[in-house]
Amino acid sequence: MQSLEQAIQSNQLLCAGLLASRHSVGVDTDISDCLQQLDRWARQAQIHAHISQPDHSAFLRLLTFFYQELAFTGAHDSADTCQPNLLHEVFAYRNGTPVTLAVILSHVAQRLGFNARCVNFPGHFLVRCDIVCKEDKALPDSLALSTALNQAHCHKTSDAEHKQTHSVMVDPINGHLLSVDVLKQKYFSVIEDIDNECMPKEALDPASNDEVVVHMLHQVKSSLINAKRYEHALRSIDLLIHLCPNNPYERRDRGVLLHELDCPQLAIVDYQYFIRQCPQDPAASLLAQQVKHMDITPPVMH
């Protein structure tokens, strides 16, 4: 857990994601192998997609290479299977969820000089790439989010050329660029539409490293629980509690798993913590009744 925290704090998101993925299922994945694989993909993209500078056309070629040549795909019904949620297995199978694909795509792009980062957009993880363009090669307003959201800025270089920085958003499931209109539709399909409310520009801000790792661990936890791999799910929840120590809902979930694993004494401690912290939650009264009837008599050893 200490190495995971160190990776997050030192801005090594890919390493942090791999450590969390490996720890959750108790396998000895060699992180260096995954990092070397990522470097190989970046070198292949540079050669086969003819990427010499991080401009808009080069980014489009990278997306084509990533989704067609490397054949990365988005998983369907990812909650029912663990593989797409485990970052180290996405390296092997090239089939992932929005967050695992976003992490890999953004890091391949970064290796090639692109300013690409993950975005925790409501309901769907995205990849944001900020691209510097000359004014005569500016992107269409439908795709140039910085222009559409009044965030564009110009600056003069030493040779007095005007340049603009534009942001493009990518759906990591398929590599499609998302227009401002599509993003607004996606946003208000998740967030309740209030009259005359606009999509806030903060919705497109890059996510922090710990935010990405926590989101990934939540998906890992859910998929492991659905697969009835409770001991592994418990490992992922322990990581979440380590990263979010004051979250009572993680303690509740751990209590449920401990109860399922026939550890009632430990489960009660987590249940009681949740009941104290969230007394108004409907689950609190149900758990309180359950605690009263739980058998915590230690087993008799013969």
Pick the closest to residue 221 from 183, 247, 192 (CA basis).
247
Same domain for 15 and 136? yes
Same domain for 196 and 259? no
Q: Is residue 239 part of a domain?
A: no
C-alpha torsion sign, points 148, 153, 158, 160: positive
Same domain for 37 and 155? yes
Q: Is residue 94 part of a domain?
A: yes
How many domains are contained in the chain? Answer: 2
Q: Is residue 230 part of a domain?
A: no
In terms of DSSP bridges, do strands 95-96 and 73-74 run parallel, antiparallel, or are they unpaired?
A: parallel
Taking the C-alpha atoms of 102, 81, 183 and 151 in order, what is their torsion angle to the nearest 10 degrees? -30
Instruction: Report the mean per-residue pLDDT for the chain.
Output: 88
Chosen domain end from 182, 204, 226:
204
The verdict on pTM exceeding 0.85 is yes
Same domain for 191 and 276? no
Same domain for 165 and 34? yes
pLDDT tens column, 153-168: 333 334 445 678 889 9
Which amino acid, 152? A
Q: Is residue 214 part of a domain?
A: no
| Structural domain boundaries enclosing 109 | 2-204
Q: What is the Cα gyration radius of the chain?
A: 22
Q: How is residue 3 written in tokens?
A: 């190495």
Q: How is residue 292 written in tokens?
A: 């009263």
Same domain for 177 and 289? no
Residues 168-207 as b/e (b if ≥16 CB within 10 A, e otherwise) read bbbbbbebebbbbeebbebbeeeeeeeeeeebeeebbebb
Which amino acid, 208? S
User: Is 96 exposed, middle or buried (CB count within 10 Å of its CB: 0-12, 13-18, 19+)?
Assistant: buried
Q: Is residue 136 part of a domain?
A: yes
Chosen domain end from 204, 232, 267:
204
Chosen domain end from 204, 230, 265:
204
Is the pLDDT at 49 greater than 50, yes or no? yes
Let me know how long the chain is.
302
Pick the closest to residue 181 from 208, 141, 239, 235 (CA basis).
141
* Structure confidence at residue 147 (pLDDT): 43
Q: Is residue 267 part of a domain?
A: yes
CA–CA distance, 80 with 234 (Å, rounded to integer): 17
Q: Is residue 210 part of a domain?
A: no
Same domain for 68 and 162? yes
Same domain for 58 and 113? yes
* SS3 assignment, position 95: strand
The full 3-state SS of 152-206, as one line of letters, equals CCEEECCCCCEEEEEEEEEECCCCEEECHHHHHHHHHHHCCCCCCCCCCHHHHCC
Name the pLDDT band for 88 (thresholds 50, 70, 90): very high
CA–CA distance, 46 with 66 (Å, rounded to integer): 11
Pick the closest to residue 85 from 74, 39, 256, 207 (CA basis).
74
Least reliable range by pLDDT among 57-71, 162-176, 234-248: 162-176
Pick the closest to residue 60 from 146, 181, 177 (CA basis).
177
Average pLDDT of the segment spanning 214-225: 96
Same domain for 148 and 7? yes
pLDDT tens column, 224-233: 999 999 999 9
Same domain for 60 and 128? yes
Pick the closest to residue 55 from 212, 166, 219, 143 (CA basis).
166
Average pLDDT of the segment spanning 259-266: 93
* Structure confidence at residue 81 (pLDDT): 87
CB atoms within 10 A of CB 237: 27
Same domain for 142 and 275? no
Q: Is residue 225 part of a domain?
A: no
- Dihedrals phi, psi of 173, to nearest 5 degrees: -65, -35
Same domain for 199 and 52? yes
